[in-house]
Every structure is written in structure tokens, then in C-alpha cells.
Homo-oligomer: A and B are copies of this chain.
Amino acid sequence: VPFSVSIIGVVRTDRTTTVDTPVQAALNPDEEGVLELDPAYVDGLDGLAGFDYAWLLTWLDGPAPAGAEEPPEPREPLNLRPVPFLLARRPRPIGVFATRGPRRVNPIGLSLVRVVAVEGALIRFAGVDLVDGTPVLDIKPYVGAFDGPPGPVRCGWFDELALPPGATPASLSGPE
């Protein structure tokens, strides 16, 4: 039985195509975006400005934003062992649950952003890895005591990689 989720807001950024959008907020920490929360939920933001960082849970398979150049892609069966963008030049398939890629069984994104300001139902944030128009499902405060392991940890195939600042699917797949 599927559950249904509702959209609580939309992200506004200067990125209009996924191929030119950085793959992680941490690789593009200074670019700013705005979350436009549905005003019906504005009371839910009370206290958020006291946090430096927040998690955005987003829907990565939503309707393309108006004006975007990418037509909606035909739905293909999910590849459970895709090649991550970060491995495009040295292709190696990785189980989707060991990747952070957007094509997942449930295409829910997890972005850690810096809270710049909360202004009414708008959240100005820094750290853009979302295309303009991305639907938002939830906002959670980042809590250091909950959201990090107690020390350095193994991070699988990421431990072997250089993580280039600003990396996008396009920059990671083109000629080096």
C-alpha cells in the first residue's frame, strides 16, 4: 500500500537543468537559494532561525519547472546498480542504496543547507544542489548531537574520490 506525501513548498534557485546543477550542496556551499513554504505552514518555522543548518527533504522526480529545457523523461525501470555521477569517468556500478543519486525507488533528496534567514514563509539558504522548482516535503533542523557519527568513519567508495567543488553531472561526464 503506497503512502502519499504532500508538497509543503518549492525551492527557487538559478539552476534550470539537472545536468548543470551541483550534485551536492556541500560542493556548492556559497550559492544561495530560497525555499518558498506554503504560507499555511508558516507557524512551523518558529525557532528555525536559531539553527545554522537544516535538512531539506525534497522530491527529485517532480514536474519540470516552467521554462525548463528538459522535457519530462519517459519513466524507465529503475536501475538498482547505477553508475554514480561522481564515477562517470571511471564507470563502476554501485547499489542505489550506497549512492546519493536522485534516481531511487522513492526519489527523496536529502540536502544539508545553511540557513541564511527566515523571512515569513521564505527561507533563504546557502548550498544549492537543487534545480529551480524542486518540491519540498520536509524541513528538519540539523542537530550536531544527532546527525553525525562520534568520530571519523568509513564512507565506502567516496573515500577513494576527490570531490571537485561545484561538480555537476555535466562537468563530471565531459572530457577531463
Interface residues of A (CB under 8 A from B): 1-8, 24-27, 29, 41, 43-48, 50-55, 57, 59, 61-62, 80-81, 93-100, 104-106, 108, 110, 112, 114, 135, 137-150, 152-159, 163
The contact of A94 among B46, B99, B114, B158, by CB within 8 Å, is B46
The contact of A3 among B4, B44, B96, B104, by CB within 8 Å, is B4
Give CA–CA (A98, B143) in the complex, Å.
Answer: 10
Chain A contact residues: over half helix, strand or loop, or mixed?
A: mixed
Find out whether the CB atom of B6 lies under 8 angstroms from the CB atom of A105: yes
Nearest Cβ distance between residue A67 and chain B, in whole angstroms? 19
Give CA–CA (A6, B78) in the complex, Å.
Answer: 13
Give CA–CA (A2, B139) in the complex, Å.
Answer: 17
Find out whether the CB atom of B157 lies under 8 angstroms from the CB atom of A145: no
Find out whether the CB atom of A5 lies under 8 angstroms from the CB atom of B108: yes
Find out whether the CB atom of A95 lies under 8 angstroms from the CB atom of B152: no
Find out whether the CB atom of B154 lies under 8 angstroms from the CB atom of A50: yes
**Can you list 13 pairs linking A and B with CB atoms under 8 Å apart?**
A2-B6, A43-B95, A44-B97, A47-B99, A47-B157, A50-B154, A55-B110, A97-B141, A100-B143, A106-B137, A110-B140, A112-B146, A112-B148
Tell me how many chains of this kind the complex includes. 2
Known contacts A2-B6, A105-B41, A138-B108, A94 near B47 by CB under 8 Å: yes
Give CA–CA (A17, B99) in the complex, Å.
Answer: 32
Find out whether the CB atom of B43 lies under 8 angstroms from the CB atom of A80: yes
Q: Could you say which residues of chain B place their CB within 8 Å of the CB of A81?
A: 43-44, 46
Known contacts A105-B138, A149-B114, A149-B142, A97 near B4 by CB under 8 Å: no
Nearest Cβ distance between residue A140 and chain B, in whole angstroms? 6
